[in-house]
Amino acid sequence: MCVTVARAATGKRKIPLASKAYHGSASWCTPSPAGVTAEDRAHLIEFTYNDLFSLDAAASAAGNDLAGVLVSAFKHDIGIDLELPTPAFAQRVRALCDARGAALILDEVRAGYRLHAAGSGEPLGVRPDP
């Protein structure tokens, strides 16, 4: 739903998100390619979680069509160790969205106030867009 709202608010389409990240079971956001068409994922651009260069490259690839950045409160891909965002990464996502007029979409589904009562970005000084 947040992606739809970000696209409606900005009039843009591109959404960078971390590779292999899970943001739901809809075909546009599932990390599994089974049964998913290229059209379902046409406006997603993947980056590596906590990698500033990769994040900046994804935003650059979006050009003037950057609607928002979708990021998890922590990396929780299947079969790997959990990874919290670095302060530099969290602050770069916020700064990038602010500079480009894009929405910072913080997926809290798995974090759900477990990291901080005010939201997982609070300890890092980063708040998602309302």
Q: In this predicted model, what pLDDT tens digit does every residue of 1-25 receive, in sequence order?
A: 889 999 999 999 999 999 888 777 6
pLDDT in tens, 95-113: 999 999 999 998 876 666 7
How confident is the model at residue 127, as a pLDDT?
A: 81
Asked if residues 68 and 5 have their Cβ atoms less than 8 Å apart, the reply is no
Domain containing residue 115: CATH number: 3.40.640.10
Residue 102 structure tokens: 């894009």
pLDDT over threshold 80, residue 84: yes
Structural domain count, the chain: 1
Range of the domain at 24: 2-124
SS3 18: strand
Name the residue type at position 42. Answer: A
Q: Which residues contact 16 (CB under 8 A, 6 or more apart)?
A: 44, 45, 46, 47, 55, 58, 59, 61, 62, 66, 69, 70
Domain membership flag for residue 129: no
114 inside domain: yes
Tokens of 105: 């979409």
The pTM of this model reads: 0.86
Residue 116 lies in a domain: yes
Which whole number is the average pLDDT over 25-54? 85
* Residue at 130 is within a domain: no
Average the pLDDT over each of 17-21, 28-32, 60-64 and give the range with the smallest value: 28-32
Q: Is residue 77 part of a domain?
A: yes
